[in-house]
Amino acid sequence: MQFTTAKQMERLDELAVANGLEIRQMMELAGWHMVELFRTLKIKKTARVVAVAGKGNKGGDALSAARHLVNHGYKNVAVVLISSKLKPDPLHHLRLLKKMKTPTISWTEGAEAKSAISKGDVIIDGLIGYHLDGAPRGVFAKAIQSINQSKATVIAYDLPSGLHATTGKCYEPCVKSLATLTLAAPKKCFRTLTGKRHSGKVFIGDIGIPLFLYRQVIKNYKPIFKPGSGLVQLEK
């Protein structure tokens, strides 16, 4: 199995969009795979689930997941928003959640947001993705600290926030997750000792990128996903 750098993932995303795939569409698939992962991990539908979402695409993945989880019978799903200035695609998913009357708490509400995180049984890390190049700062650092201080089962989207996608360096602070749902392809960080410690069980989710695009970015690329399976566990 080939592992990708942050630059390769950025290029793969660019090619996907240039060839007609929409970010919003890929977020839908990311959200659906989180439902599959919850089933794989046997998370009860009564669990208090908190999706902690940043303003970018990783935040959009978490918001999409929150909606799909509600649709599939998870009774206690809430969202903590780290920023009110979401990009258009994450904003689309937030608007749908609000129409569904899913509880949404802003980080600016302070104690209420921290309380929601501390009381969660499962936390979805939707904060910082593979573009990270330096220690998380400000509200993102505080949110990561709150996640790590909780007793919840933490599931990271793509890679734990605070982990460098290529080198596996864990900046301070860095989310420590029980499981990670990485998208499209595994990142090089999952081969490092620190990456393994912080990522837990790693699952790869198919977001619909065609094989010919993978092969433009990854030399001698071999398909990960088999027919009928869009979620694959990475062997350690």
Instruction: Point out the annotated binding site.
Output: 125, 129-135, 158, 161
Binding-site residue ranges for K(+): 125, 161
Rg (C-alpha) for the chain, rounded Å, is 16
Q: Under a CB-based contact definition with an 8 Å cutoff, are residues 97 and 79 in contact?
A: yes
E strands, 139-230, in order:
153-157, 179-183, 201-205
Q: Which of 71, 73, 63 has its CA nearest to residue 31?
A: 63
Residues 6+ apart with CB under 8 A from 235: none
Question: What would the two tokens of residue 174 be?
Answer: 């860095």
Q: What angle separates helix 23-40 from helix 88-99, to the nearest 10 degrees?
A: 60
Q: Residues 105-109: contacts with CB within 8 Å, 24+ apart?
A: 105/78, 105/79, 105/80, 105/81, 106/80, 106/81, 107/80, 107/81, 107/82, 107/83, 107/139, 107/142, 107/143, 108/84
- A 10 A CB-CB count for 130 gives 25
Q: Under a CB-based contact definition with an 8 Å cutoff, are residues 114 and 146 in contact?
A: yes
Binding-site residue ranges for (6S)-NADPHX: 129-135, 158
